Amino acid sequence: MSATVVGGVTITHPEREVFGEGGPTKGEVAAYYEAVAPWMLPELRDRPLSVVRCPQGATGQCFFQKHHADSLGPDVKAVTLEEKDGEAAEYIYVDDVRGVLELVQMNTLEFHPWGSRIDAPDQPDRLIFDLDPASGVAWKAVVAGAREIRERLAAHGLESFVRSSGGKGLHVVAPIRRGPSWVQVKAFCETLADELVADKPRAYIAEASKAKREGMIFIDWLRNTRGATSVTGWSLRARPGAPVAMPLHWDEIARLKTGGAFDLKRALKRAKGLEADPWEGVATLKQKLP
Ligand code: ATP
Ligand code: MN
């Protein structure tokens, strides 16, 4: 069996093309995560985590995994959390690059943390708005939507950050000082989304159940729920072309063409050339939910 060592972690079958023929290999995925770990870990570490594992590669069957197993690797850690039914279960978290790479060895491609940290899972430390444009919505409109949310958050004294999802849309994230419950945070986000929809009912929709979304952007505020996740910055997506969810400066989003504008290669180049985190301040801002 072929193997290589990346960041001290044995990666088997490094030559396997995990994004289809001619695409990045498992070894390149491991090298990617090792290279971007300094930028990725501040957001990812010490949060309950779901991973998307793709044993047959991104073109095969992938699955979300949230529960811990010893087989994931010695640096993939477990945190005991209460589930909806009141039972305790062990969830995954990582706090270093070895944990990330061991998950890659287990064919993880995507990393999806909670909006709270393991030491206080019931107290979210950020708000997230996920903008999901219907097919055919112009990128300009997605950019406008993200800016609109940014302005509305700013009106409440909340600075926010933006990332491309690696898919169709953008995520707007505002860090908050811990304290409010999930229910309070979700209510705040729902109100903000509803106000946006009330002002521009032809552009935005905030109800997950509504079928009629043609030409509109769904403002998904439901990520602000205990146990809900969103993809972390710098995570690959198990989609064609190996796109990456990318933390951006606000003035960068207009220059993209889609939420999938960054792929593995472009993200790697960005990681190596970056002088400062585009999300600098996200962990240190002291913002209070109104
Ligand atoms: P896009 O821009 O294409 O919408 P996205 O990452 O925002 O990309 P969504 O489908 O909008 O994808 O989902 C938002 C988030 O919800 C994801 O980032 C992921 O963390 C979580 N999610 C989506 N589908 C599942 C699922 N089947 N199981 C668990 N979590 C999921
Ligand atoms: Mn989305």
Question: From atom 15 of ligand 1, which residue's Cα is the shortest distance away?
Answer: 230
DSSP class of residue 67? B
Given a cut of 90, whether residue 209 has pLDDT beyond it is no
Q: How far is the centre of ligand 2, averaged over its atoms, from the C-alpha of 15 (Å)?
A: 31
pLDDT tens-place string over residues 41-66: 999 999 999 999 999 999 999 999 99
* More confident call, 253 vs 85: 253
Q: Is ligand 1 within 6 A of the CB of residue 152?
A: no
Mind spelling out the 3-state secondary structure of 231-243? CCCCCECCCCCCE
pLDDT tens-place string over residues 222-274: 999 999 999 999 999 999 999 999 999 999 999 999 999 999 999 999 999 99
Could you give the domains of the chain? 3-118+229-240+263-269 (3.90.920.10)
**Could you tell me the pTM of the whole model?**
0.97
In testing the pocket of ligand 1, which one of 230, 235, 236, 256 has its CB within 8 Å of the most ligand atoms?
A: 230
Averaged confidence pLDDT in the chain: 97
pLDDT tens-place string over residues 88-134: 999 999 999 999 999 999 999 999 999 999 999 999 999 999 999 99
Q: Which helix (H) or strand (E) holds 162?
A: strand 161-164
Mind spelling out the 3-state secondary structure of 193-230? HHHHHHHCCCCEECCCCCCCCCCCEEEECCCCCCCCEC
Q: How far is the centre of ligand 2, averaged over its atoms, from the C-alpha of 146 (Å)?
A: 12
